[in-house]
Amino acid sequence: MNMSEMIQVKNLSKTFQTREGTVEALRNIDLTVEAGDIYGIIGMSGAGKSTLVRCLNYLERPTAGTVIVQGRELGTLSDKELRKMRSSIGMIFQNFNLLMQRNVMDNVTFPLEIQGTGKEQARQKARTLLETVGLSEKAAAYPAQLSGGQRQRVAIARALACDPKILLCDEATSALDPQTTQQILQLLKKINQETGITIVIITHQMSVVREICRNVAIVENGQIVEQGLVEEIFTHPKSRAARQLVIEGKDPDQWEEPAQKGAGELPILEENRKIRIVFSSNDSKEPVVANMVLKFGTPVNILKADTKDLNGTARGEMILGLNGSRELEDEMIQYLIDRGLAVEEVQSHVE
């Protein structure tokens, strides 16, 4: 295992036995998370992503395959060694999982108490962490007195108490409003930048992946259908799932089953030839589309135009309907490519 690889998953599968029979939750999963990365795993409800994250710390034991964390294969560890390894893996959840009968200070010191840390040392560490997450003044408050965003900040402080190398976030922002979600994501990004902690984010929200993740894996029906740099997948989505996320703007829970004529194919619409162009805010000061229309004397339909923040960089996309001969359309596409824009043909769009 390369020293820069914090987590490596090889050929992982997980099945469950139910009254209805065998359920194959994960199949042949391969992924690598580099040290210091913020890695997103996105998929619809039931896709297997939460099972996958629980396999990363062996809260769920895979049916087959291996999980290697910090150079150690978890399947070979004794129960004692596994418990010690888990102390280097923090975890936060959608429903916060705080101890309601304990105040904020005592919630944060709880994992340190389990480790046997002295009371005053644990409280000093907790005070530092509460300052990090912006809740110093809430040390004596109880979870019931806090907002959802404040509860999640406490959960983050508690997860960081034992100085983990990895932080697993299982739908950690799903119960929060958009503004609070943004604040929590910015906090996680800040912690990553200041400590170098590796973060794995499980989510069904593409906006979360765009905002904070550098790499992403898209999970569908228990398999990874596409993975790589968020920017690359945004610019050139290949799988049906990625194209539904990026081009059609659908959350995973809105994904449709592929047409019977072939898994992965999008339905072909009998309309003009469509192209998708992607550009960053500093690609060019030239009004490229307008100049293209003037140069070739042929109008285009703007079927979609949008700008998104991709991990701090403004990225624009447009879907254009071309209306001309095949040869003329090819020339127009080449004109865009020559000006540094990413161009691909698409078969569907959102009106």
DSSP state of 75: G
- For the purposes of burial, counting CB atoms within 10 Å of the CB of 103, is it exposed (0-12), middle (13-18) or buried (19 or more)? middle
What is the distance, to the nearest Å, from the Cα of residue 206 to the centroid of all Cα atoms in its chain? 7
Question: For position 196, what pLDDT does the model report?
Answer: 93
Question: For position 115, what pLDDT does the model report?
Answer: 86
What is the rounded distance in angstroms from the CA atom of residue 235 to the CA atom of residue 344?
Answer: 9
What is the rounded distance in angstroms from the CA atom of residue 131 to the CA atom of residue 115?
Answer: 22
What is the rounded distance in angstroms from the CA atom of residue 231 to the CA atom of residue 239?
Answer: 15
What is the rounded distance in angstroms from the CA atom of residue 160 to the CA atom of residue 111?
Answer: 10
What is the rounded distance in angstroms from the CA atom of residue 156 to the CA atom of residue 38?
Answer: 15
Question: For position 164, what pLDDT does the model report?
Answer: 92
Collapsing DSSP states into helix, strand and coil, what is residue 242?
Answer: helix
Name the amino acid, one letter, at 246.
V
pTM score of the predicted model: 0.78
Question: For position 265, what pLDDT does the model report?
Answer: 45
Domain 274-346, what fold? Alpha-Beta Plaits (3.30.70)
pLDDT tens, residue by residue, 291-305: 887 777 777 887 777
DSSP codes, 316-330: EEEEEE--S-HHHHH
DSSP state of 70: T
| Low-confidence stretches of the chain (pLDDT beneath 50) | 1, 260-271, 284, 351
How big is the CA angle at 22 (ends 21 and 26), to the nearest 5 degrees? 150
What is the rounded distance in angstroms from the CA atom of residue 89 to the CA atom of residue 168?
Answer: 7
What is the rounded distance in angstroms from the CA atom of residue 74 to the CA atom of residue 153?
Answer: 29
Instruction: Give 5-247's CATH code, choosing from 3.20.20.370, 3.40.50.720, 3.40.50.80, 3.40.50.300.
Output: 3.40.50.300
Q: Are 142 and 74 in contact (CB under 8 A)?
A: no
Question: For position 262, what pLDDT does the model report?
Answer: 46
Each domain of the chain, given as residue ranges in start order, spans: 5-247, 274-346
Residues pairing with 279 in the sheet: 316
